[in-house]
Structure 1
Amino acid sequence: MSSPTEQTSAPEVPEPAPRVAPSRTDPFAAAVTRPIGGPLGSHAATGRHWFWSPLRVALLLCVVALMLGWFGKAPCIQQFTNDQGQTELDWRSGRPYVAMCYSDIVPLYGAERLNKPGAFPYETSWVEDEGTAGAQTRYMEYPVLTGLFQWANAKVTQAWQSVAASGWLPSGLDVAVYFDITALFLAAGWLVTVWATSRTHRRRPWDSVLVAISPLVLVHVFTNFDALATAFAATGLLAWSRRKPALAGLLLGIGAAAKLYPLFLLGPLLVLCLRAGKMREFAKTAAAGAGAWLALNLPFAIWLHQGWAEFFRLNTSRPMDPDSIYNVISYFTGWTGFDGPLGAHQTPTWLNIVSGGLFVICCAGIAYLALAAPVRPRLAQLCFLVVAAFLITNKVWSPQYSLWLVPLAVLAIPRWRLLLAWMVLDSLVWAPRMFYYLGEDHRGLPEGWFLGAVTVRDLAVAGLCVLVIREIYRPSADPVRIDEDTLTGDPGGGVLDGAPDVVTWKQRAPVPV
C-alpha cells in the first residue's frame, strides 16, 4: 500500500499522429485549393468539426459522382412507344454507342433469362444459335455471388412492378426498373469501397477523394457489376490492416465469389508474410478465404454443376477481346494469333497457355521483388502490381475492370496529379470504343483509333507499375512512408507493420533518391 505522500500518475497515452493534408504535400492538391484560399495553414485547427470529417466529404463527393454516373447511363433506359402501341427501350439508331451510355446490365436482364419469373441462375438454361451448327446450351455466365446478385435484383424488380401495378409506386419497363435497382446496390458497393480505402491508411483519409471522384467511376461503375467485388476487396484489405486476418480472408473469399481478382490479393500476402515470418496469420486468412469461397460455390458445384461451370467454360473458350494486348498486336502487325484463325466456339488453347504463363511469370517476378527489395514492400504496392499484371497479360480487359485498380492505386501511389491523369486517360478509352462498336458504316470510328487508345492506356498502367517498383527500391521516394516518418513501416500492413524480416533473397541497400 502506498503512502499518502506518494503520487501516482496514469501512463501517458501517445497522441495520434496528425493526418496528412494533401494540400500541403501534393502540388496538384495545393493548386486545386487556391481558388478557395490555398493550402491548409500550418496553424490551422483540423479534425475538430462535429460533422465534416474527410471521410464524410469523400462520401458526399462520391454520391455526386455516382449521380453523374447514373445520368450518363440514363439515356439507355429511355422508352418510346412503337407503331404497335408497345413500349420499348429507345435503342434506335445506335443510341447506346452514340450517347455512350451502354451498360451490360440492360441487355443481360433478358440474355440471362432474369426476366423469366421462374428462372434461377445455374439451373435455367437456353439454347444459343438454335437451329445452326453452332447451337450451344448456355447458363448464367457470371460467378456465383454476381449471378445471385442479378437474380435477387430481378426478384426485387418483379415485386416492385407488382406493387406499382396497384398505383402505389412509379413504374416503367421491367428492364429500366431492374437497372435502377441494380445501380442503387452498386452505388452502395462503391461507397463501401471509398469508406474502406479511407480507413485503411488512417493518416491519409483525404486520398479516398480520388476513389470517390475518379472519372472511371463516372463512366464504369454502372457498366457491369464490378463494384460488388471492389467493396469486398477493399474491406478485406481494411480488415487486414486492423490485424484481423480471419475477417480479411472471409471478405476476400466472398469477393472472389463475385469476381476472380480478390483472390489474387492472397499472393502478395503470402510472400510478405513469408518474409516477415507471419505465416500463421496468412494461414488464417487463406483458410477463411477458401472456406468462404467454398461455402458459396460448393452447393452449386455439386447440385448445379453444369450451370456453375459455365463461367469457367466461357472464360476458357473466349477468344482475345478487342481491347487485349494480343488483339492490338494482331491488328497492327497482321499476326493471326497463337492458335491461328479460330472457328465459332473454338477454344484458343495456346492463347490461354501463353496469357496464363505470362501472368505466372509476372507473379514470380513480383514475388522475387517482395523478397529481394531492400525494405519490405507495402501490401498495397504488391497488390496493385499483381492486378495490373493480370490485366495487361490477360486475353480480356473489359473496360470496367479498370475499377479494380482505382482503390489499389490510391493506396499504392497516392500522387493526385498522376493518378487523375491516368484515370482520365483510361476513362476516355470509352469514347473510341463506343464509336468503334457503332461501325464505320454508321459514322463510327475505325478499329485503329480504338486500339491506339487501348495502347496508350496499357502504357499508362505499365508506367504506374514502373513507378511503384521504383518506390519499392527507393522507399524515401514513397509518399506514404515519408508521411509515416518511417521508411520501413506499412500503415496498411496489419501484422506486417514494423515486423522484422525473417526470410529475404539477396537483400540490397536502398537506392538513394
Structure 2
Amino acid sequence: MDDNTDGDDAPARTRAAAVSDTATLGPTDRVIPTWTEPLARAGSTPLGGPLGVHAVIGRHWFWTPLRAALLIALIGLTIGWFGKAACVQQHFSPETKKLELDWRSNRPFTAMCYSDIIPLYSAEQLDKGGFPYQTSWYDDEGKPTQHQRWMEYPVLTGLFQWVNAKLTDGWMKIANAGWLPTGLAVTVFFDISAFWLALAWLVTIWAVARTARRRPWDAALIAASPLVMVHAFTNFDTLATACAATALLAWARRRPALAGVLLGIGGAAKLYPLFLLGALLVLCVRAGRMRAFYTAAGAALATWVAVNLPIAVLFPRGWWEFFHRNSLRGADPDSIYNVITQFTGWQGFDGPLAFNESPVWLNLVTLVLFLACCAGIAYIALHAPIRPRVAQLGFLVVAAFLVTNKVWSPQYSLWLVPLAVLAVPRWRLLLGWMTLDALVWAPRMMFYLGDDKKGLPIDWFMSFVVLRDLAVIGLCVLIIYEIYHPTRDLIRMGGEDDPAGGVLDRAPDKFVLRKRVKELVG
C-alpha cells in the first residue's frame, strides 16, 4: 500500500466527479420503484398503477422524490407522536389537588406509549433547573442502595435535554402570562423535544436521498418505516442518525473533513456514528486513500474532544457518569445474553452480582466478540473480489455491535435504518425486518405490565427478540453474499460503484488479500 497514491489520474477523477454529481443525473437516470419493486408496484394501484412508459419524469414544479419522502415522513412522525401522546395526558388528582400525568392503570404499558423523555425530565433533575454534569442527586435515599447520580447521557444528548428544559421554562412563563397554551411542564418538555427529534429524522431522510443518487425514492422507505412510528420519540437517537447520515453524504461529496466533524458531533450524542470510521479505515486501506481517512478521523477526534473537553475539565465526575453507568449495566432485557439466561437458566458470565458491582466478564466478552466481528468484517473488506460499498460495511459494523452488545435498547434499531436502505435497498425485505423489529415493542410492554396485571409472560418477549436478532443477522448474511457476488447487488446492477464512496468511488485497489477475480465495474 502506498499512501502517496491518494490521487488518481485526471480522467478517472473526472469520471468519478461526474458520477457523484447528482446535478448531472437526468430524470431518466432515476430508478423507478414501481418498475423495479413489487411492493411499490402493488402500493401504486390505488394511485393509478405503475408509472407509464411514456410518463414525463422530473418536470413537476413541486413534487420531487425527496419532497414526497419528507411528506410521508411527516405522516409517520405524526403517527409516532400520537403513539406517545397517551403518556402525556393529564388529570386532576383529588389527593394532591393538582394536575398530574395520567399514568393510572399502568398506562405507559397498556397504551404502549412509554417514552424515556417523559420520566427523564424529573429523573435527571431537569425540572430543578440545574446544569447537567454539575448537578448531582441521590437515588434510593435512606436505603442501603443509596448512591449518588449525575446526568448519564453523552455530552450533546445531555445538553440537548438541558436546552429543551430551559425552553420549557420559558414557555411556561409566557403561558402563565396568558400568551401561550399551558399544561404540565413535562408535557411541554416532551413536545419541544419531539419537535427537534422529528426535524433530525427529516434531516436523516434528506441526507440519505442525496447520498442514494439514482435511487432517491429509497428515502421513502425510511420515511414510512414502522420503526420510526414506534421509536422516533422513545429516546434521543434521531440526533445521532442525522449526524451519521449527513456524515455519509459529506463523505460521498468528497468532503472528508466535514464528514469527520459530523461523525464527531454524532459520537458526542451517541457513540455509534464513530463506528463508521472503522468501515472507512479498511476501505481506504484497500483503495490506498489513507489521506482522506486521516482527515476524517482527525476531524472526528478533534470535534469529539472539543465538545467533551470543557465538560470533562469542569465537571469530571459528572462527565464520567455515562461511562461509569454503562460499565455497571448488566445484560439488557433485549440482549442475546438475557435471552440465553431466560431460556436456559444460565447465571451469566459473572454469576449473581452485588449492588453496584460491575459485570467484568460480561463487559470483556462483549468487547472481545465485537472486536472479533470487526476483524471478520475487515477481512471481508480486504478479501472480497470487488471493494465493498461504504454503506454495506457500515451496516455490518453497527449490526455487529448491536448483536454482541449487552444493551440493545429498542430505539437503537433506528441506527440501522438509513444504513440498511443504502446497503441493501430491497423494499419488501427491509419493510419485513422493520415491521418485525417494531413489533418487539408490544410484547416488551406487555411483559413489563406483569403477569399479575394480565401482561404477557417473558417467553413472548424473548421469542420476538430472537426473531429480531435473526432478521438482522439475515440481512448481514445477504450483504456479505452481495459483497462476494456484486452482480447481485442492486446498486452495482444499475451501473454504479459506490454512491456513498466519495474518494473510494471507482478507485482502483492498492491492497487486497487476493487478486480480483475480474473487473465487474468500470
Smaller-chain TM-score bracket: over 0.9
Task: Give the distance between the partners of 1:245 and 1:43, measured in 2 at CA.
Answer: 41
Is 1:500 matched with 2:505? no
Task: Give the distance between the partners of 1:425 and 1:509, measured in 2 at CA.
Answer: 37
Task: Give the distance between the partners of 1:309 and 1:43, measured in 2 at CA.
Answer: 61
User: 1:318 matched to which residue of 2?
Assistant: 329
Which amino acid is 1:108 matched to?
A: L
Task: Give the distance between the partners of 2:70 and 2:368, measured in 1 at CA.
Answer: 40
Which amino acid is 1:262 matched to?
A: P
Contact kept, 8 Å, 2:80 with 2:230, in 1: the verdict is yes
Query: Which structure 2 residues correspond to residues 48-67 of structure 1 after superposition, within 5 A?
Result: 48-67=59-78
Which amino acid is 1:438 matched to?
A: L
Task: Give the distance between the partners of 2:38 and 2:112, measured in 1 at CA.
Answer: 33
Task: Give the distance between the partners of 1:345 and 1:408, measured in 2 at CA.
Answer: 36
Which amino acid is 1:112 matched to?
A: E
Q: Per the alignment, do residues 299 and 185 of structure 1 end up closer, same or farther by CA in structure 2, a change over 3 Å counting?
A: same
User: 1:90 matched to which residue of 2?
Assistant: 102
Query: Which structure 2 residues correspond to residues 458-477 of structure 1 after superposition, within 5 A?
Result: 458-477=469-488
User: 1:183 matched to which residue of 2?
Assistant: 194
User: 2:87 matched to which residue of 1?
Assistant: 76
Number of equivalent positions: 496
Task: Give the distance between the partners of 2:46 and 2:70, measured in 1 at CA.
Answer: 22
Q: Per the alignment, do residues 510 and 389 of structure 1 end up closer, same or farther by CA in structure 2, a change over 3 Å counting?
A: farther
Task: Give the distance between the partners of 1:382 and 1:507, measured in 2 at CA.
Answer: 20
Query: Which structure 2 residues correspond to residues 58-207 of structure 1 after superposition, within 5 A?
Result: 58-83=69-94, 84-117=96-129, 119-207=130-218
| Candidates 386, 397, 419, aligned match of 1:375 | 386
Task: Give the distance between the partners of 2:457 and 2:356, measured in 1 at CA.
Answer: 26
- The two structures, once aligned, show a CA RMSD in angstroms of 1.3
| Candidates 21, 25, 38, aligned match of 1:16 | 25
Task: Give the distance between the partners of 1:35 and 1:222, measured in 2 at CA.
Answer: 31
Which amino acid is 1:107 matched to?
A: P
Q: SS where residue 455 of structure 2 aligns?
A: coil
Task: Give the distance between the partners of 2:50 and 2:92, measured in 1 at CA.
Answer: 54
Contact kept, 8 Å, 2:446 with 2:455, in 1: the verdict is yes
Q: After TM superposition, give the deviation of residue 16 of structure 1 in Å.
A: 2.6
Task: Give the distance between the partners of 1:101 and 1:253, measured in 2 at CA.
Answer: 32
Q: List per-residue Cα deviations over 1:460-503 (Å, max 9, x = no partner).
A: 000000000000001010111112x14xx111100100100001
User: 1:416 matched to which residue of 2?
Assistant: 427
| Candidates 395, 407, 429, aligned match of 2:418 | 407
Query: Which structure 2 residues correspond to residues 254-269 of structure 1 after superposition, within 5 A?
Result: 254-269=265-280
User: 1:253 matched to which residue of 2?
Assistant: 264
Task: Give the distance between the partners of 2:337 and 2:71, measured in 1 at CA.
Answer: 40
List gaps (5 residues or longer) in structure 1: 1-12
User: 1:445 matched to which residue of 2?
Assistant: 456
Contact kept, 8 Å, 1:474 with 1:511, in 2: the verdict is no
Query: Which structure 2 residues correspond to residues 272-311 of structure 1 after superposition, within 5 A?
Result: 272-311=283-322
Q: List per-residue Cα deviations over 1:282-309 (Å, max 9, x = no partner).
A: 0000011001100000111111100000
Task: Give the distance between the partners of 1:325 and 1:507, measured in 2 at CA.
Answer: 38
Q: List per-residue Cα deviations over 1:211-250 (Å, max 9, x = no partner).
A: 1110000000000000111000100000000000000000
User: 1:327 matched to which residue of 2?
Assistant: 338
Q: After TM superposition, give the deviation of residue 508 of structure 1 in Å.
A: 5.2
Task: Give the distance between the partners of 2:338 and 2:47, measured in 1 at CA.
Answer: 47
Task: Give the distance between the partners of 2:72 and 2:436, measured in 1 at CA.
Answer: 21
Task: Give the distance between the partners of 2:311 and 2:25, measured in 1 at CA.
Answer: 48
Q: SS where residue 309 of structure 1 aligns?
A: helix
Task: Give the distance between the partners of 1:167 and 1:213, measured in 2 at CA.
Answer: 38
Task: Give the distance between the partners of 1:47 and 1:115, measured in 2 at CA.
Answer: 50
Task: Give the distance between the partners of 1:132 and 1:358, measured in 2 at CA.
Answer: 37
User: 1:3 matched to which residue of 2?
Assistant: none
Q: List per-residue Cα deviations over 1:406-425 (Å, max 9, x = no partner).
A: 00000000000000000000
Q: Which runs of 4+ in 1 moved over 4 A?
A: none
Task: Give the distance between the partners of 1:439 and 1:376, measured in 2 at CA.
Answer: 50
Contact kept, 8 Å, 1:373 with 1:507, in 2: the verdict is no
Task: Give the distance between the partners of 1:344 and 1:34, measured in 2 at CA.
Answer: 59
Q: Per the alignment, do residues 426 and 511 of structure 1 end up closer, same or farther by CA in structure 2, a change over 3 Å counting?
A: farther
Task: Give the distance between the partners of 2:346 and 2:514, measured in 1 at CA.
Answer: 41
Percent identity between the aligned chains? 64
List gaps (5 residues or longer) in structure 2: 1-17
Task: Give the distance between the partners of 1:410 and 1:333, measured in 2 at CA.
Answer: 36
Task: Give the distance between the partners of 1:23 and 1:246, measured in 2 at CA.
Answer: 38
Is 1:223 matched with 2:244? no
Task: Give the distance between the partners of 2:355 and 2:255, measured in 1 at CA.
Answer: 48
Q: SS where residue 81 of structure 1 aligns?
A: strand
Q: After TM superposition, give the deviation of residue 111 of structure 1 in Å.
A: 0.3
Q: SS where residue 142 of structure 2 aligns?
A: coil
Q: SS where residue 137 of structure 1 aligns?
A: strand
Contact kept, 8 Å, 2:264 with 2:301, in 1: the verdict is yes
Q: After TM superposition, give the deviation of residue 509 of structure 1 in Å.
A: 2.4
Contact kept, 8 Å, 2:80 with 2:228, in 1: the verdict is yes
Q: After TM superposition, give the deviation of residue 510 of structure 1 in Å.
A: 6.8
Return 36-45 or 453-462, whichever deviates more: 36-45
Q: SS where residue 128 of structure 2 aligns?
A: coil
Contact kept, 8 Å, 1:65 with 1:212, in 2: the verdict is yes
Contact kept, 8 Å, 2:25 with 2:214, in 1: the verdict is no
Q: After TM superposition, give the deviation of residue 131 of structure 1 in Å.
A: 2.0
Calculate the TM-score normalised by the size of structure 2.
Answer: 0.93
Which amino acid is 2:25 matched to?
A: P
Task: Give the distance between the partners of 1:507 and 1:131, measured in 2 at CA.
Answer: 67
Return 36-45 or 221-230, whichever deviates more: 36-45
Contact kept, 8 Å, 1:475 with 1:510, in 2: the verdict is no
